[in-house]
Amino acid sequence: MQMMNVAVKQGKGEGEVAEVLVVGHFEDDASLKGDAATVDKALGGALRAFLSCKEFEGKNQQIVVLHTQGEIPAKRVLLVGLGKKQDARLDTIRQAMGCVAKRVRQIGAASLVTPVLGQGIPRTTPLELAQAMTEGALLGLYQFNEYRTDQNGAGKSLSRMTLIEPHTERVAKLREGVRRGRAGAEAASFVRDLCNHPSNVMTPSRVAAEARAIGKERGVKVKILEQKKVEQLGMGAFLGVARGSHEPPKFIILEYRGGGRGSNGKAGKPIVLVGKTITFDTGGISLKPAENMEQMKADMTGGAEVLATVRASARLQLPLHVIGILPATENMPGGRAIKPGDILKTLSGKTVEVQNTDAEGRLILADGLAYASRLKPAAVVDIATLTGACAVALGQFAIGMFGNQDGLKAQIREAGNRAGERVWEMPLWDDYFEQLKSDVADMRNIGGRGGGMITAALFLSKFVGAGVPWVHLDIASTDWSERERAYIPKGPTGIGTRLLLQFLIDQAKLPN
């Protein structure tokens, strides 16, 4: 999709020619402050009137629009609520800007001007606020119209947003924030696009083609392992899942080598990202119920997020060595499909008894993690729509996190907080492995009803090399939304993408 242009300009909001001028207000502020107060004065108290009559209270995402009648150069002023300052965080600003962008588009305006919102929120910088504003506005405008013949109707589209900053010394920081925000929004939108495509379009071969396109980015190389090569390597778990499909599996590897400041160059140990890439999941022989099965086109979200993160890393030219791994296949109930009771030999040499073919994500990730461990990584992060148990345990707002090193988990947690894609740590205790013991193989691929998210993560942990720092992110709770939210559309959300990118930005030690 064509994304809105976002720019930073030195100036003052009340003096800018614009179709819409945006100002914000915290609910617990007794009076208008900062830019809102200045604009209100120029309008002769018109904004205060909304507060006085309680038509506007500053509640989170509350919006009022008024025409300026020529009192200032902007045609309209949009006042957006930021909620209570004590509760505000970076994601408050993202949400506000997502609502603002949609409202401005709704009224038919093509451009908006805004000062930096949220100044005064503790532990935030102007750069981070500009990044959050850019992400919220761009993601709030997201639409997927690829298969609509009417292209969602006619009319104006919001094409330009300008951040206004009166202080010269802060303009460069804001521009960097916009650059990062645009990269994050582009990445998440790319994931949404990939997961919105139907599975007859977004096949493993199409995912490989998307990877090859990313290989044209500066510093990125792509390798696609076809079925014959995968067989030679001995990836029995990945191939077992692929057996039922007529679509050939693809084991996709992207490598980005960043240069510049702080880079370890060729000698640097890579950060390896592994994403579950099941382009459609029927459950295989252990067939899923028909209801909502169409959503299983998004069972490739983890892989899509790895693709998008590698592309964004290259576009930001992060001084890092990053490798993305995507085991891509369908899970289908064909005549050659694996059956409950079958035993698979994995790349690691360990054997797995398949007791449920719908627990296939952990099988392809087992070989993906074993391959990643051979790369002598600095860290491995896998991300997957792995278990329905995650959604039961955490609902729709938290990503399940497991890991084997406290430092890496803390870094992921901090990145999630800043990205507004929060994680919640779950236990990775070996006691649960009792549920995975098999009578005929090293382990089985399910551990029973209790603790399903935990036993799935524990299964994966057995394929991570000794001494390799590792985190597993289960996004089955957050990858799909049943309703539209401030900057989250109904359907595929792309949640997890900006977390991964923020983690890499933090690893690159870029200034904030």
In the chain, where does the domain assigned CATH 3.40.630.10 lie? 189-507
- The pLDDT value given to residue 339: 98
Question: Do 458 and 365 meet the contact criterion of CB atoms below 8 Å apart?
Answer: no
Per-residue model confidence (pLDDT) at position 156: 64
The mean pLDDT of 285-292, rounded to a whole number, is 97
pLDDT higher for 415 or 155?
A: 415
Q: Is residue 261 scored above 50 in pLDDT?
A: no
Q: How confident is the model at residue 266 (pLDDT cuts 50, 70, 90)?
A: very low
* Domain(s) of CATH 3.40.220.10: residues in the chain: 5-165
Query: How many other β-carbons are positioned within 10 Å of the β-carbon of residue 376?
Result: 11
Does 267 score more than 90 pLDDT? no
From the list 33, 288, 345, 462, the catalytic residue is 288
Mind listing the pLDDT tens digit for each residue in 155-208? 468 999 999 999 999 999 999 999 999 999 999 999 999 999 999 999 999 999
Q: What is the mean pLDDT of residues 376-404?
A: 97
| pLDDT tens-digit map of 197-237 | 999 999 999 999 999 999 999 999 999 999 999 999 999 99
CA triple 291-294-296, angle to 5 deg: 105
pLDDT at 15: 84
Q: What is the predicted pLDDT for the residue at 265?
A: 41
Q: Which CATH homologous superfamily contains domain 189-507?
A: Zn peptidases (3.40.630.10)
d(CA 365, CA 276): 6
Predicted local distance difference test score (pLDDT) of residue 2: 76
Summarised one tens digit per residue, pLDDT across range 429-438 is 999 999 999 9
pLDDT score of 92 = 97
362, 409, 418, 444: the active-site residue: 362
- pLDDT band for 264, please (50, 70, 90 cuts): very low
The pLDDT mean for the chain works out to 95
Q: Has 297 been annotated as catalytic?
A: no
pLDDT at 301: 98
Average of pLDDT values for 144-156?
74
Of 463, 416, 220, 180, the closest CA to residue 322 belongs to 220
Kindly state the average pLDDT of the residues 118-137.
Answer: 96
Q: What is the DSSP letter of 500?
A: H
* Whole-number pLDDT of residue 151: 63
CATH of 5-165, one of 3.30.565.10, 1.10.260.40, 3.40.220.10, 3.40.630.30: 3.40.220.10
- The sheet with strand 351-353 has its strands ordered as 343-345, 351-353, 443-444
CA–CA separation, 336 and 352 (whole Å) = 18
Are 121 and 92 contacting, i.e. CB atoms less than 8 angstroms apart? yes
Q: What is the pLDDT of residue 16?
A: 85
Helices 126-140 and 168-196: crossing angle in degrees, nearest 10, is 30
pLDDT in tens, 41-84: 999 999 999 999 999 999 999 999 999 999 999 999 999 999 99
What is the band of 263 on the pLDDT scale with cuts at 50, 70, 90? very low
Predicted TM-score of the model (pTM): 0.96
Active site residue 449: no
